[in-house]
Structures are given as structure tokens and as C-alpha cells.
Amino acid sequence: MTKLFYVLFAAAVLIGCKSDDPTPVAADPTPVALKGVFIVNEGNLNSSNSTLSFYSFDSSKPYADVFSSANSRALGDNANDLANDNGKTYIVVNNSHKIEVISSETYKSLGTIFLPSKSPYKIAIYNDSKAFVTNFKQRSVSVINPTTFAVVKDSIPVGNDPTGILLTNNKIYVCNSGGLTPDSTVSVIDPVTNTVVTTIVVGLGPNEIALDSEGDILVLCTGSYNKVPSSVYSIRTDRDSVTNIMTIPMNTYGNIYKFAVSTKGYGLLPSYATIAKFDTKTNTITASAFINKSAYGIAIDNITENIYLGVPASDYVSNGNLFVYDKNAVKKDSVAVGINPGTIVFKR
């Protein structure tokens, strides 16, 4: 986690983060060519203990660190994001200022893209020659070539502390989170010209971004801890304008830092104690405690509708757990993974 998110997330004390007797992490050889989920375990800032776990759909078996097992070296310091494309997996390692590229099948290293002093945070792949990376501390987005691993453009200026990024409707949308300096904007980049074409004003602290079932953009705005409530803004991509705002009651849910959105018309919001469910068509919360557990990482499988939660240990320095629930919030599995499991990405 970045220093900011570590402090904020630790402040919102997790309830129900005990292991529930999780299955131990498998010590088997690297799982080649399996289908499942990648879990990016962020580790602790300045400790270089990030890991990449894998959970197999077929066997429900966890693998502790497929990156280190395949490459005999550590992943780095504060891994934050992951994307799969054309047989390659791109792992954004924030405090190591790099992107590790591995084979999606063997997990062997294919190369490393260095972005010195950029603090890369999230990645969106546009095509074989362009991928866009938010730089948390630099108020910028870098453009890299995902095939040659070259840096195409060092910096596209955006707002303060950019985090979430999304490609849709042939545009790149960037959340300017204002983590260190307040911001309430989303920058829209033309991926052909590598320039910002418009800026959309949303709520305080836009942090995460996703597409809903209607093809509109949802932006999670964190607000300000115990001062300004979180909110979800809906944006029409054909005209880049806000069409709806859902305010999340702070006295009930606290401030929200992550969300997951399904193509089936709903989304999930991890609060300090529970996972709330909301309707993305009506923009209303439909269940305040859909799952009685909070999480740092969260993802919804749009095929099976299974829900995956990355839950840190209560001390934030021990290994955390991956919990799996079905679409009705019935627990299916829990396994141990790495320290502070964050981003969860499907591999098929």
C-alpha cells in the first residue's frame, strides 16, 4: 500500500479478519497453465516483501508466490496492480518504480520496465504498442510499449496523485485521487495523441473506476476520512458528463476505499465491518451487510459471479487470506495468501 492508504485502511479497523482456519498455502511447484485468480499481495512499504499468489479454479489450491518460485528473486516493494494481455502479465510495483512483465502461463520473467521516481500505481493496456500507467506521486501518466517494454512518453500531466485508470470508448479515464493534495477530478486522455482532452469534476478523492452493466463509468470517490462521505459518480462516456451521484452514509459505512462492479447490474462496497451491495442501475444500496466481513482487495467473477475478498491479517505484517463466496454470499473457501492482499485479477 502507499503510505496514505496504509494509514487510512489501518485506521478503519477491520472487523472479522480472522483466518477462519484457512487452507495453508501450497508449497507445490509453480502451477503452469492453470486457470484461476492472481492475488497481488502488497506487503509492507519499504520492506520489499510484495508477492504474487495464485488460486486455481480447478483444485481450489493456493500458491504462495508464483513470481518468486518461477524467477528465484523477490517481486519488489509495494506491488499495486496487475493486468493480463496477449499471454503476458504486467505487475505494477509502486515503490520499486517498475513494472515486472512475466509469462501468464509459466510466470517466468520476460523483462522489467523501469519508471524512475514515478511511483507507478495502476495500468491500462490500450493495444500492442501502448499501455497507460498512473504515477501516484508525479501528477502524471506514463505511456509504455507493452511489446517492446520501451517508455513511449514519460509524462502526460494530469491531476493530483492519480490512481485508478480505465480504458473504454477509445479513451483513457484517470482518477486524480488527491491522496496527498485534495482533488476531485477525472482526466480523460486521447490514447492516439497522448493528451488530456477534457477533465470531469466528481466528488472528493476519486480513487477507483469501473464500467457498469450499461456501459457507463462508475467512479468511487473516497471523500475525506470522518469528514466528507464517500460517493459513487456515474459518467456517460459518449459525452463525458456526470449523470448520477450516490452518496454513501458515513455514519453507517465510514469511508470507502475500494469497490467491485459486476456486469450483472450490481456492485460491492467494503466498509469497515461489512460488504455492502448496491444496484448500479438505480444507484441505491440494496444490502448494507451482504457479506459480514470487510476486505482490502475485492473482485467479482462476471462468469460465475463468485466473489473474491483479499483480507489482511489483523497486524498487517502476517500473511492475509483470500475468501471466496458465491453470488448469494455463501462462503465457499478461504485460503492463506501473502501480506496485505490487494488487487485480484482473473486468469483464463
pLDDT at 32: 77
Choice between 19 and 74, residue whose per-residue pLDDT is larger: 74
For 348, counting Cβ atoms within 10 Å of its Cβ (0-12 exposed, 13-18 middle, 19+ buried), the class is: exposed
Give the closest residue to 9 by CA, choosing from 230, 232, 256. Answer: 256
- pLDDT for residue 21 is more than 80: no
| In the chain, where the domains are located | 15-110+295-348, 115-257+259-264
Asked whether 310 and 295 are in contact (CB, 8 A), the reply is: yes
Matching residue, cell 493528451:
195
Classified as helix, coil or strand, 8 is helix
The CA angle 107-50-321, to the nearest 5 degrees, is: 90
Write down how long the chain is: 348
- pLDDT for residue 2 is more than 60: no
Strand order in the sheet with 341-347: 62-63, 51-56, 36-41, 341-347
pLDDT at 12: 38
The DSSP code for 55 is E
Q: Locate 41 and state its grid cell.
A: 499481495
- pLDDT for residue 8 is more than 50: no
Between the two ends of the chain, the Cα-to-Cα distance in Å is 27
Give the closest residue to 228 by CA, choosing from 199, 259, 207, 198. Answer: 207
Q: pLDDT tens-digit profile of 39-74?
A: 999 999 999 999 999 999 999 999 999 999 999 999
Percent of the chain at pLDDT exceeding 90:
89
CATH architecture for the domain at 115-257+259-264: 7 Propeller (2.130)
The mean pLDDT of 253-276, rounded to a whole number, is: 97
pLDDT at 23: 52
The whole-angstrom separation of Cα 114 and Cα 240 is 33
Helix (H) or strand (E) holding 307: strand 307-311
As separate numbers, helices (DSSP H) first and strands (DSSP E) second, the chain gives 3, 28
- pLDDT for residue 145 is more than 80: yes
Percent of the chain at pLDDT exceeding 70:
92
- pLDDT for residue 9 is more than 50: no
Q: pLDDT tens-digit profile of 175-186?
A: 999 987 899 999
pLDDT, averaged across the chain:
92
Asked whether 130 and 117 are in contact (CB, 8 A), the reply is: no
Q: How many Cα atoms are found within 13 Å in the side-chain-facing hemisphere of 307?
A: 28
- pLDDT for residue 4 is more than 90: no
pLDDT at 27: 45
Q: Using the Cα atoms of residue 244, residue 247, residue 253 and residue 259 in order, give the sign of their dihedral.
A: positive
